[in-house]
Structures are given as structure tokens and as C-alpha cells.
Amino acid sequence: MPVVIMDASIYKHVPGGELVNANIIIKDNKIHRITDNQNEVKSFIEENPETEVLSSKDKIVLPGFVNAHTHSPMSVFRNYASDRSLHDWLFNMIIPKEQLLTEEDAYWTSLASQAEMIRSGTCAFADMYFHFESLVRAVRHSGMRANLTVMPLSNKWNEGKRKTVSNAQEAISLFKKYNDNEMITLYTELHSVYLYDIDMIHVNVEVAKELNTGIHIHLHETEKEVDDCLREHNKRPIELLREIGVFTRPVLAAHCVVMNDDDIDILKEDKINVCENISSNLKLVSGIPRIPEMIDKGVNVVLGTDGCASNNNLNMFEEMHISAIVHKNQMKDPTVMPAHKLIEMATKNGYEAIGFKDRAGDVAEGMLADLIMVDISSLHCTPINEVAACIVYSMQASDVDTVIINGRIVMRNKEFVTIDEELVKHKVRTVAKRLGL
């Protein structure tokens, strides 16, 4: 169904941000026209009587956010096992409970995360988790755009206890079945060097090459990860992965916290997309990544929330805000990480990292219609003055009013169109109770 957003205040990616007033015509799944010609809009509506017309009074229109690294079924572990180190939290608390998740559990808990993401203005996300087909089902239900991962091998700890991809051929079959290059794109999952042995990493790379796709990985998240790899292989993880050939594929690398100068040079030289997960890293005390230096080197840096279990929410406004203020203090420079740069990281850079470079992430003609309408009438957004600063430092997730993904309205006037929120909450509470959380 065509959509027209009347008299829109459109955010533009320029230093400081800028608002342009025009009407937005959405046809099929793209931004068809941006025009201030009211007669043109009137003619379009007359020719397309099924068009839904949205009022943008007291709202601005932004490109939708991309949550470039999360684990959507982990919504069930929200507020569980807090105040622990990463390895204690993961191996002693999370993994034993994850073994109990069923395919149906993964569907509902992923759908809960997707509802939370939509409500806070996220249109697309990159996920890394098992029960892959349950995630596909949830994505098709919500209407979100997603980059999911197929797992080509069992890893060091699951030993077949949970339903995953047991061999490379099955991963290839799943890829060919579900990768549609539009709403669901697929990478292979290489969780980390501490969960995958060398043979598994080699197979992962070969699968990614055969499928002509990318790899999603946790990289240099903690000092322990780096130290253990040095002790076992006499190489830092990024050096080991480069030697094996991982970076011959497009790579989305989450965290990249414990990086030296040579590591950052590899990020640049091999065109690795880096996803900062600042809230999760701060909560788990993994460290603060050298993001400003990576950006200065030309690395494509994007933002993600990580999973609910280590964040504990999926709010991209919060990720932008925290990232900005942390790195200003890290560099002792208030000009570092200006607000408009954070918005780019959360939108256009994120789309590039999941395979949609120059196709989404901007409110412009010909772009995929992944848009959000955000209410600016609240006291905490008054006055706007500098629009980029308002978005990063003042706006809240609750300000998101309407979300359009691939030209389809999935939330209108803060009400879900595709998801029964009360049912989802009931299902997740039921799963949590059964797991003994």
C-alpha cells in the first residue's frame, strides 16, 4: 500500500543535522518522491486511492536505526545474572540456561526483542543465535529487516545439545532457502576464537566463500580472549583470523575493545565493519574501544546493543548517547564524536555493514523506505535548537511514534500493526518461569 507523509520535517545527514520540509511519497518498498509540490502529492493520491496518508505534525522523519549486533532470543535473560564478568556470566550462568531453550521459545523471545526494537525506532538488526529457523519465522512475523547467521558447525561447548547446524552442507541449504537479499540476508556465524577451533574456523570461511556472503563474529571483546589466544596460538585473535583468511570475506566484528595500533590497522586494511556495543561493554567491564581512532582511520563503525542479557535493553537512542559521552571523556575532547556522526553510525553505516550500502539509511529518493517518525512535542525535546543534538542527547525511545519498514507500516501512533504485544509478553514470562529464572 502506498504511503504519503505530509508536510514532513526530514532529517538530513549533514554536520549538526538539518531539517528539510517536504512531503514523502512511498511506493512499493521505496521512497518514490520527496516533493514540496502539493499538486503532485494530490495527483498521486488520486491515482492511488488506497494510499495511507500520515500527518507529521510535531514529528520529524529519520532513517530507521540498525541494531548491528544483538542476540534477540536473549530477551528472556533480561535482568538475570547481573554484576558478573563476561566469562563467568556466559559460561556459568547463561549457557547452561540456553541449553533449555526450545525452538518455540526462541521464536517468542526473538519476537519480543523485535517488538522492543521497533518501539525504539530500529528497522533492521544483525542477529547471532541458534534455532535459526525460529528467528526467520519471527522476522517474517514482525516485518523487520534482518541479517541472521547460519552456524556451519557445532562449536566447542554445545556438543549437539541444542538444535543448530551440524554440518556445512546443511548451512548451505539453509542459506539458499532463506537468503532473499532484501528482508532477510544471511552471514555465517563465527562466534569467537574461544568457542571455535582452527578447523571450525576454516570450514566457516569456506562456507562463506561458497555462499559469497559475510561473517559475523565477536572480536577482541576482553583481555582474557586476547591473552588466551596469544598463549594458545602465539597470535592475537585478529592476526590468527587474518592468517586463516576470515577477512577475505565481508566481516561484521562486534566489540573490538582490546585493540592495539596494529589491530586497528588491520581493521582498516581489511575493511572490517566494527560494531560498538558500549552499554554491554561497560556493564561487563570489558573495556572501552578506541572508536574515535578507528573512525579517524576510515573504519566503518556502527552501533549495536548486544543482547538483553548484558545491556539490558535494545534502545539505540541510549547507545548513541552513551557512546558520545564516553568517547568525549576517553579522548578528553568534547568535539570528538559529534552528534551527527552518531546518527550516521546508527543508520547509514549500519545498513552498509549488513549489506545495504547506498540502498538504505537516508531519507532520499530511491532509498528503501525504512523510516521512523519521532514525536518532538515533549518537554525534554523543547526547544530543538540543534536537531542532531536533540536526537542523540534528548530523545527517548518512547518518542518514536510510527515505524515504516520496507514501505510497510509496522507501528502506527505507538500501536503495533504486526505484533500482539500482550501475547508476546505473556509467552516470554512463561518461558522465563519454566527456565527457573
**SS3 label, residue 377:** coil
Residue 308 half-sphere exposure toward CB, CA atoms < 13 A: 21
CATH entry 2.30.40.10 includes domain 3-63+368-416: yes
142's enclosing H/E stretch is: helix 132-142
The model scores a pTM over 0.85: yes
311/282 Cα distance (integer angstroms): 9
Rounded to the nearest angstrom, the gap between the alpha carbon of residue 356 and the centroid of all alpha carbons in its chain is 13
Q: Output the DSSP codes for 228-247.
A: HHHHHHSS-HHHHHHHHTGG
For 333-366, the pLDDT digits (tens) are 999 999 999 999 999 999 999 999 999 999 999 9
Q: Output the DSSP codes for 114-138.
A: HHHHHHTTEEEEEE--S-HHHHHHH
Could you tell me which of 119, 16, 37 has the C-alpha nearest to residue 24? 37
Give the max Cα distance, the chain. Answer: 70
pLDDT for residue 240: 98
CB atoms within 10 A of CB 426: 11
**Three cell numbers, residue 413:** 501512533
Taken as a whole, the chain contains a residue count of 437
142/410 Cα distance (integer angstroms): 7
Beta pairing, strands 122-127 & 145-150? parallel
pLDDT for residue 157: 53
**Three cell numbers, residue 20:** 528539510
Domain segments of the chain as ranges:
3-63+368-416, 65-353
What pLDDT tens digit does each residue of the chain (437 aa) get? 999 999 999 999 999 999 999 999 999 999 999 999 999 999 999 999 999 999 999 999 999 999 999 999 999 999 999 888 888 888 899 989 998 999 999 999 999 999 999 999 999 999 999 899 999 999 999 999 999 998 755 555 555 444 445 567 888 888 899 988 789 999 999 999 998 889 889 989 999 999 999 999 999 999 999 999 999 999 999 999 999 999 999 999 999 999 999 999 999 999 999 999 999 999 999 999 999 999 999 999 999 999 999 999 999 999 999 999 999 999 999 999 999 999 999 999 999 999 999 999 999 999 999 999 999 999 999 999 999 999 999 999 999 999 999 999 999 999 999 999 999 999 999 999 999 99
CATH class of 65-353: alpha beta
Alpha carbon dihedral 205, 149, 324, 357, in 10-degree steps, equals 80
**Three cell numbers, residue 116:** 522492543
pLDDT for residue 166: 57
